[in-house]
Amino acid sequence: MFAYIIPVFLTIAVYYYAQHSLHIYNNPTGKYIMSILPFLPLIAMSVFRENIGVDYSGYELLYNNIKAGIKTNAEIGFEFLAKLIIWGFDDVKILFAIFSVFTLINFIIAIRMLSTDLTFSVSLFILLGYYNLTYNAVRYYYALSVVLLAYAFFLNKEYKNFLIAVIFAACFHKTSLIVLPVCYIFRNRSQSQKHYVYLILMAVAAVILKHPIRYVAFKIYPSYLYSVYDGGSASITNVFKCLFLLMLGICFYGIVRRNDTLIFCHKLNIVALILYVCCSWLPELSRIGYYFNVLSVIFIPDLVKEMKSEMNRRVVSVVTVLGACLYYVFFLERTYAQEIHLLPYRTWLFHLNQ
């Protein structure tokens, strides 16, 4: 466990120092460099891992099937990259390394673009488990990182770039297309009050149209039908996280409704809550919900930054950080389990089991 805990907290400490002590951190030229540099040790841990992640061997098999010319259910982007690696280096470790580097860099750049407090946001990205979960489902988490970048384009009203980013993400995981209709609904801020009516209708539709939605879902991913994943996958932890964000959004709605990023995050958190509560029968539901509640790492720091009351800032910050630290410890305890398989940490550089 300490193989993760020590570098994680050292990384957070470096971010804090850079943000508060280095002039280049806020320099337009150096801000992205200084955003990525402190994260390099954690990127290296992901790059050099071996047999870490519940589907590590599954991706090795997928790679070998593509190499053998066997038809797979992988998206075109993943197949193209795998074939390129097979043609060049023919080492599956290169595949994991490329996904590790670009997934995590995408996340950090997107957080830098969206957040007003990079250290706080990166800390939540790590402590809420998102960093470690990128070791699993490498196609999905790469798509998620591109979607987070797409949200930055969307909030800057760069709709063409937003659309290109989401379509590119879908080349690695088709589920990312779900963000297109949701963002289309929320594109017009002048209709903000109507959006809550749409959210209510979405919840009702999720209950009433269960069978048609399942039909469409399994048409997209037929391999999930009657599999171990076809039984629902709602996470009570994700529900509580959504409820906490909803409570913050309601308590400080006066701040939230005046800020484009905050109101967008608030509404997408409600979408995630609807999915977790009303669509628990969908396979791999947590992954679908992450497209919307990953913005929690932006919402809380930006909300705290906008608060005028020093007491409110301290209370929300302390409660959030303590809760996230406790969550991370319990999360790491669970990662010894075969269904997560992130511990003990192993690397192909040298022998290490921690």
CA–CA separation, 121 and 265 (whole Å): 14
Collapsing DSSP to helix, strand or coil, 75 comes out as coil
Q: What is the pLDDT of residue 340?
A: 76
CA–CA separation, 184 and 191 (whole Å): 12
Residues 166/77, Cβ–Cβ less than 8 Å? no
Q: What is the pLDDT of residue 193?
A: 76
pLDDT in tens, 192-235: 778 888 888 888 887 787 777 777 766 666 665 555 455 555 67
CA–CA separation, 64 and 26 (whole Å): 45
For the chain, list residues with pLDDT below 70.
Answer: 22-30, 190-191, 217-234, 283-284, 350-354
Query: pTM here?
Result: 0.92
pLDDT in tens, 85-128: 999 888 999 999 999 999 999 999 999 999 999 999 999 999 99
Q: What is the pLDDT of residue 233?
A: 58
Q: What is the pLDDT of residue 336?
A: 83
Q: What is the pLDDT of residue 308?
A: 92
Tokens of residue 37, six digits: 């540099």
pLDDT in tens, 34-47: 889 999 999 999 99
Q: What is the pLDDT of residue 245?
A: 97
Q: What is the pLDDT of residue 24?
A: 59
Give the 3-state secondary structure of 12-67. Answer: HHHHHHHHHHCHHHHCCCCHHHHHHHHHHHHHHHHHCECCCCCCHHHHHHHHHHHH
